[in-house]
A and B are shown apart, each in its own frame.
Chain A
Amino acid sequence: GENVEQHPSTLSVQEGDSAVIKCTYSDSASNYFPWYKQELGKRPQLIIDIRSNVGEKKDQRIAVTLNKTAKHFSLHITETQPEDSAVYFCAANRDDKIIFGKGTRLHILP
């Protein structure tokens, strides 16, 4: 079955610097790769997603890249702000399901 590996598990960056979270997947049939943000005590919410027919997608300070050959995709957050502090989950689809990575806790340091 599909495995989604995510790293690092914890990431601390200075406010204003960039943060990068990386994920790998195992099922070559996966074609949809979302990223979810979960603030403390809240529900996960979609922040960006990418489909297999594109290599990169941007939305303001957030970008995602996909390398289908290597089966890995990454989340890039530029000019980090305090409100970026949260847990981020990558995911990949398999059949009718979404398989989530274990999450990355991002700390933005003042």
Chain B
Amino acid sequence: NAGVTQTPKFRILKIGQSMTLQCTQDMNHNYMYWYRQDPGMGLKLIYYSVGAGITDKGEVPNGYNVSRSTTEDFPLRLELAAPSQTSVYFCASSGDGYSYEQYFGPGTRLTVT
């Protein structure tokens, strides 16, 4: 199993541009999450999903959108990129029920200039 994969690994955006960060997992997990991690800081939840067709906001959803059309994929869309969105973005997935262990992808390092 590849686990959780993310593309791209790095990206530089100009202010006002848009992009989609891709996340795919092959563990048949229903729960998926997007976090951002600013330099030297902790993980802040952007959006999460408990299954295909269901998404919900986390702590810092402004400026982002998500969709969950399949169990495997959970893309994160940035509209009108701003310098404040410069960060490392991690996607994670976890299984159902009582176990909440989260498996993280390798991250996408995004710079907005």
Contacts and interface: CB of A to CB of B under 8 A. Distances in A.
Interface in B99-113: 100-102, 104-107
Interface in B6-63: 31, 33, 41-43, 45, 48, 50, 56, 58
Interface residues of B, number: 19
B41 A97 contact: no
B42 A97 contact: no
Given A34-B100, A34-B101, A100 B48 contact: no
B42 A96 contact: no
Nearest to B56: A96
Interface residues of A, number: 19
Interface stretch (A13-21, A39-47, A57-65, A77-85): A39-47
A102 interface: yes
A98 interface: yes
Interface of B: 31, 33, 41-43, 45, 48, 50, 56, 58, 90, 98, 100-102, 104-107
Given A44-B104, A89-B43, 6 more contacts: A32-B98, A43-B104, A45-B104, A98-B100, A101-B42, A103-B42
